[in-house]
Amino acid sequence: MEEEKKIVKKKKNKYIIIVFLLALIVGGSCGLYYVDTFYGEGKINTIISSLQEKTQKNTDITENPAEQATEKNSVTLSAGGTLFATKGKRFLMCTKDGVKYMNGMGDQKWNDTFTMAVPELIEEGGYYAVGDLAGKTAKVYNESGPVYTVQVTGNILYFALNRNGYLGIITKDKEVYSIMVYNSTGTQLIVRQEGETGIYPFSMDISDDNRIFAISYLDTTDVEPVGSINFFYVNESEGRNFSESMFASVIKTNELIPKIFYLDNGNLIVASDKGLYGIGSDGKEKWNIELTNHISYIGVEKKKYVVVAYGSAISGKNSRKVGNVSWINGDGKEIADFQAKDGVTYLNCNQTGTIIGCSKTYYGLKIGGRAFWEYTATRDMTDVLLMENVNNVLFVSNDTAVILNMDRVSQDTAVKEEKQKTQSTEKVIQKQKDDEQQGEEQQEQKQEGEEQQESKQEKNTENEQKDKNEQNNTNGENNEVQQ
């Protein structure tokens, strides 16, 4: 009887995994299997059950005057969707037909044409990569133009860049998964094939020293699903003493690990449905954070801070409020948090800061989580990206991309109150510092006065003693004369 229960339980878990994998495959066909390095974006929910395509409502509403597009600050977009990546004042536009690199609105530097069914765009350091999800082509660019093109035999499920232009790709050809790593010139350095039934590669990333690549897997061959991260050396010379160059592995039983990515301190961040983990370059766990809420979105600012937007509570946990966003440094310490008005529906992080979206309301925050503006759009946006500073923002709708200066857009009360609260706190802190400084100055003056008084008394005492000694000497001389 006990054995029958175990078999039933195992079948039930495998059924759940099969349902999950079907959802993942469907999501992949819609461009959802892909999750980028999060250095540029965080578009995907790490909770697998809520993987679904975000639909855009083509709502025709009278626009706010601030959103009115002009030739100087906007560009008209063609049907079919346009992806953007910003780099200061410059930006790259990607469609199914190719890419354009712009020095600014109306100032095209170069372009490249191609045909992709489901293009996805990622950015890392000074490089960009466009891959055709469920297709067979990936292209890498820098600000000067095309760098290299990769053609694969299977269908692309996932790809990632490091800041040196190294590209990692996960593909599927029939029942075989392959993992490839290419260097900055497009030379294939690594190819791994994962053909074992019931084991699926989810995510990968390449360290910025080009030495290591890590892969996250889901193992469904046991009663409970097992998440794992395996670490491999890129160079054969370093990996020759290890089987298949794999030098470390981290196992998380009954956890799904859909996302891993490197920070600039060398730690690999592991995002699962149960926790966040920091893994060192030696493959050993350095820190962990147990989740009390499901993660809605996750991103990375400047490759230094992990930005986590929390959703609904995990049952039985002392949870955060829905819409709370946390900034975590590379050592696993929370350095800041922000409370949005509602559940987060959009997150985008880059070198300048973070954009948080709650339906049509957006917040702009500087590096480290300091809120600068809040803005409610009058139409649906597909993307909102920071430019060279937190006040210059690229708003993208279905048919237009426009750059707005947020100094000219009225702010709602939440961020104003937050700013006022911050300013009041800063004033209190400054007053405390001023009071302390004034107290120290008064204490110094008092001490200086006391020292002067003591010095004066000592001098008087010395003079009195000198006079007394002189008097004694005079008396002694008089006595000698009398004698």
Strands (E), 333-442: 334-339, 346-349, 353-358, 361-366, 370-376, 383-386, 392-396, 400-405
Q: What is the pLDDT of residue 431?
A: 63
Q: 33 or 172, which is more confident?
A: 172
CA of 401: how far to CAs of 163, 397, 429, in Å? 27, 6, 42
Q: What is the arithmetic mean of pLDDT over 202-224?
A: 95
Residue 145 has, within 13 A of its CA and on its CB side, a CA count of: 6
Per-residue pLDDT tens for 386-418?
A: 999 999 999 999 999 999 999 887 555 556 555
Rounded Cα–Cα distance for residues 167 and 173 (Å): 19
- Contact (Cβ atoms closer than 8 angstroms) between residue 292 and residue 45: no
Quick check: 35 pLDDT over 50?
no
- What are the residues facing 240 on neighbouring strands? none
Q: What is the arithmetic mean of pLDDT over 228-255?
A: 95
Q: What is the pLDDT of residue 400?
A: 93
Element (H, E) at 102: strand 98-104
Quick check: 61 pLDDT over 80?
no
pLDDT band at 44 (very low <50, low <70, confident <90, very high): very low
Per-residue pLDDT tens for 293-352?
A: 999 999 999 999 999 999 999 988 889 999 999 999 999 999 999 999 999 999 999 999
Residue 89 has, within 13 A of its CA and on its CB side, a CA count of: 8
Q: What is the pLDDT of residue 119?
A: 96
Go through the chain and tell me how many residues it has: 483
Q: What is the pLDDT of residue 146?
A: 98
Rounded Cα–Cα distance for residues 344 and 322 (Å): 8
Average pLDDT along the chain:
82
Collect all residues with Cβ–Cβ distance below 8 Å to 399 and sequence separation of at least 6.
76, 77, 79
Which of 271, 257, 272, 273 is closest to 201 using CA atoms? Answer: 257
| Phi (first) and psi of residue 415, to 5 degrees | -70, -35
DSSP letter assigned to residue 50: G
- Contact (Cβ atoms closer than 8 angstroms) between residue 80 and residue 96: yes
Q: What is the pLDDT of residue 65?
A: 42
For 445-461, the DSSP string reads HHHHHHHHHHHHHHHHH
| Phi (first) and psi of residue 337, to 5 degrees | -150, 160
Which of 297, 255, 291 is closest to 276 using CA atoms? Answer: 291
Q: What is the pLDDT of residue 55?
A: 35
- Contact (Cβ atoms closer than 8 angstroms) between residue 327 and residue 339: no
Q: Would you put residue 130 in left (φ > 0), alpha (ψ -120 to 50) or beta?
A: beta
Q: What is the arithmetic mean of pLDDT over 28-43?
A: 36
Quick check: 60 pLDDT over 50?
no
Rounded Cα–Cα distance for residues 17 and 226 (Å): 11
Q: What is the pLDDT of residue 32?
A: 33
Per-residue pLDDT tens for 434-449?
A: 766 776 677 767 677 6
Q: What is the pLDDT of residue 409?
A: 73
Q: What is the pLDDT of residue 84?
A: 97
Q: 342 or 461, which is more confident?
A: 342
DSSP letter assigned to residue 34: -
Per-residue pLDDT tens for 68-89?
A: 666 678 999 988 899 999 999 9
CA angle 324, 54, 86 (to 5 degrees): 75
Q: β-strands 275-279, 268-271: how paired?
A: antiparallel
pLDDT band at 195 (very low <50, low <70, confident <90, very high): confident
Per-residue pLDDT tens for 253-265?
A: 999 999 999 999 9
b vs e for 195-219, b when ≥16 Cβ sit within 10 Å of the residue's Cβ? eeeeebbbbbbbbbebebbbbbbbb
